[in-house]
Amino acid sequence: GPGRTVALTFDDGASADMLAIAQVLRAQSVRAATFFDTGAKDAQSPQAVTDVSAMGFLIGNHTWDHQYPKAVRGGWSLPYLSDQISRTAAQTLRLTGAGECFFRPPGGVQDNVLAAAAAQGMSVVMWSVDTSDWQSPPRLDPAFQQRIITRATTLPAAGADHPIVLMPSAQASHEPEPQGTSFRGTTAAALPAITP
């Protein structure tokens, strides 16, 4: 529509940090944000999913276990993606009572994604701004906090009227700690400056 919007999206949940992020958003009067969760993480922290959904935030689908095509025998075939998406969607429905309408592929990989999502009645949602907050040190870091703020508020020329900002709310299920920290406290601390 007319005017400018910003979509805040958070990937990889669920976690205690996911709930902390949702609480900051609510305190900042942010009415809508989407959490693209993996089914495996949600199975580990189901109450966080239920609580975040009860706050009015959307839960989107981010596959069951966040594996990239090269790690999957046969790659992302339609049957593989259909299973990943449908298992996660069924669990989200059980936890929240609401169906999912959005799918975000891990890493933005496109292999068979449009067909698999369409078959499940979902739209694919990518991003236009990546804060790379998964690179944060495993502790609160003011310099990295400022980096997240700068990245989240520096809009690209393309799609500048309706940017979609990506900030993971948990560690991807398969990534070891040195590759991507599970700590998201810096993201939560950055949000008040992103959503004044």
Tell whether pTM > 0.75. yes
User: Residue 173 pLDDT > 80, yes or no?
Assistant: no
**Euclidean distance between CA atoms 123 and 103, whole angstroms:** 6
DSSP 149-177: HHHHHS--STTTTS-EEE--SS--TT--T
| Cα–Cα nearest to 104, from 182, 3, 35 | 35
In 3D, which of 63, 60, 80, 82 has the Cα closest to residue 72?
Answer: 80
pLDDT at 180 over 70: no
Q: For 12-28, how does the pLDDT look when each residue is reduced to its tens digit (9 = 90+)?
A: 888 888 999 999 999 99
Percent of the chain residues topping a pLDDT of 70:
91
The size of the chain, in residues, is 196
More confident residue, 89 or 6: 89
Cα–Cα distances (Å) from 150 to 3, 11, 88, in that order, read 22, 19, 33
Is residue 64 a contact partner of residue 38, using CB atoms and an 8 Å limit?
yes
What local confidence, expressed as pLDDT, does residue 65 receive? 92
Whole-number pLDDT of residue 158: 59
Identify the residue with better confidence: 127 or 161.
Answer: 127
Phi, psi of 130 (to 5 degrees): -110, 115
Helix (H, G, I), strand (E, B) or coil at 89: helix
Whether the Cβ atoms of residue 168 and residue 152 lie closer than 8 Å to each other? no
Query: Per residue in 100-150, pLDDT tens?
Result: 999 999 999 999 999 999 999 999 999 999 998 888 888 889 999 999 999
Whole-angstrom Cα distance, residue 101 to residue 158?
A: 25
